[in-house]
Amino acid sequence: MPDRRSLGQLTGLELDPSRPAVVVDRLTESFRLYHERPTGLKERLYRLSRSSYTEFNALEDVSFTVDHGESVAVIGHNGSGKSTLLRLLARILPPDQGTVVTNGRVASLLELGAGFHGDLTGRENIYLNGAILGLSRAEIGERFDEIVDFAGIRPLLDTAVRTYSSGLYVRLGFSIAVTVDPDILLVDEVLAVGDAEFQARSLARMRRFHDEGKTILLVSHDLDAVREMCDRAIVLEKGRISFDGDVEDGVDHYRQTIAGRATLPPTPAGRRGPVTIRDAVLNDARGGSAGQVAPSDQVVVRLALQAGRAVAACSIGVQVADESGRTLYAFVSSEQGIGVGPLAPGGTATVEVRMVAPRRAGEYTVTAFIGDATDGEVLAVAPTVSPLRVAATRRAAGNLDLAASAQVVEGPSTTVVAASTLHHDTTDASHRRS
């Protein structure tokens, strides 16, 4: 075989254009779920005979090829294996089965500012973080000004990063990471942090990568950004590829799986309570599925229930929890004097609970339940009506929507086209969308 490739190309560190950028072949990755993680001596001795973990596949039989210059979105529900896939591509995790081959310099933005040390100054952290990402001192020196300017930290360069705001911290992390000048860029939801201005700038930066013909794999819940940035989408569902193709079709496919999840799993057989929830959906104000809404938007939980026996009165409850499972809001209709009933055996009712989406961008779960109106006993639960995804509006900066509006109370007022520096890059994006 005539082989004219350089040593760098042979080792995969340098780009070899005659081969695909990424080849993933029958990849399976499993994790152990320890029932109680044995880390100490006592536990180890105790458990020597019986293993106390179950193994599950975070990725199962995943195969795909990415060509140079492609920009691919990886989308899927929480826990579907997106981050695991990127960590395998970045070689942080070794594959359990199958192969992962990358061709060219890989940079991964899985976490910004990983390895920053609070007691070191911004300048020192740039060198440290650059080295962590594989840059030499000379390379960092060349890019130093670019990094500082992109992050906008020049006045704070010699201050300990401990004193930086979290937004600044992330910005610095991103600025360093993007100067790695990779052939393949892996990005995992890091763009969700930071303010709107930063998001816009980083998207612009990624677009530049794309235009330069770099290969991008992007994990994001921001489906609009995904559609704008990527040509292709891979949808993961429980560790398997459920879709691989054009990005528009991929986003549609993913939206359908959200809608599919909104209908309720039937109440477990054998435990037919006095009341069952036949259907529970989360809609937006217009009655469509509320897969993604803006902060403070109206959402409606619609519950259809059926009595198994005669019921005098029951109340409806709705609970909203954040990503870590912490309950943020709980509502019980009987507190407002509203109940359902009386219902004859087999009688049905439909209830709508209206509320506003949380003001803070993020992913929430909505749980609905039916309780006995008198003693509060829970009769039926719809565990997850639907994931509720709140994405920041692009009309303002920040993660918390305070619904600001301006009015000229004295003096002449005029209508202006949004020329704010906040959104240079997002305005043309919204054009495309409308």
Partner 1 sequence: MSVADDLRPGAVRTLGRRLGERWRGRELLYQLVRKELKVRYRNSTLGFLWSMLTPALMTVVFTIIFTQIVPIEVGGPFAAFFLAGYLLWQFFQNSCQGAIHSVVGNADLVKKVYLPREVLPLSHVLAQLIHLLLALLVISPYLIWARGWQVLVHLPATLLAVALLTVFTSGVAMWLAGVNVVFRDLQELFVVMFLVWFYATPVLYPLALVRAMLGSEHLLATLLQFNPMTWFVELFRTPLYGAVVEAGNGGVTSLAPAWPGVGAIAIALAFAVVTFVGGYLVFLRRARTFAKEV
Which of 130, 250 has the CB closer to ligand ADP? 250
Q: Give the SS3 label for residue 303.
A: strand
Q: How far is the CB of 58 from ligand ADP (least distance, A)?
A: 4
- Partner in contact with 210, chosen from partner 1, Mg ion, ligand ADP, none, beta carbon below 5 to 8 Å by kind: none
Which of 120, 396 has the CB closer to partner 1? 120
CA distance 71 to 232: 7
How buried is 327 (Cβ within 10 angstroms: 0-12 exposed, 13-18 middle, 19+ buried)?
exposed
Which contacts (CB < 8 Å, 24+ apart) does range 335-341 have?
A: 339/313, 339/314, 339/315, 339/373, 340/305, 340/311, 340/313, 340/314, 340/315, 340/316, 340/370, 341/311, 341/312, 341/313, 341/314, 341/373
What residues have CB less than 8 Å from 294, skipping those under 6 apart?
357, 390, 391, 392, 393, 401
Q: What is the amino acid identity at position 73?
A: A
Beta bridge partners of 280: 303
Which of 130, 194 has the CB closer to Mg ion? 194
Site residues for Mg ion per CB under 5 A: 83
Q: How far is the CB of 130 from partner 1 (least distance, A)?
A: 8
Which of 179, 220 has the CB closer to ligand ADP? 220
Instruction: Please give the structure tokens belonging to residue 194.
Output: 């930071």
Q: How far is the CB of 13 from partner 1 (least distance, A)?
A: 5
Which of 14, 363 has the CB closer to ligand ADP? 363
Site residues for partner 1 per CB under 8 A: 7-8, 10-13, 19-20, 23, 25, 31-32, 39-41, 44, 65, 87, 90-94, 99, 101, 103, 106, 108, 110-111, 114-115, 117, 119-120, 124, 127-128, 131-137
Site residues for ligand ADP per CB under 6 A: 31, 58, 76, 78-84
Which of 83, 393 has the CB closer to Mg ion? 83
- Partner in contact with 423, chosen from partner 1, Mg ion, ligand ADP, none, beta carbon below 5 to 8 Å by kind: none
Residue nearest to Mg ion (CB): 83
Q: How far is the CB of 97 from partner 1 (least distance, A)?
A: 13
CA distance 208 to 225: 14
Q: How far is the CB of 129 from Mg ion (least distance, A)?
A: 21
Count other C-beta atoms under 10 Å from residue 189's C-beta.
17
Which of 81, 295 has the CB closer to ligand ADP? 81
CA distance 28 to 31: 10
Q: How far is the CB of 251 from ligand ADP (least distance, A)?
A: 16
CA distance 160 to 148: 15
CA distance 322 to 9: 46
- Partner in contact with 80, chosen from ligand ADP, Mg ion, partner 1, none, beta carbon below 5 to 8 Å by kind: ligand ADP
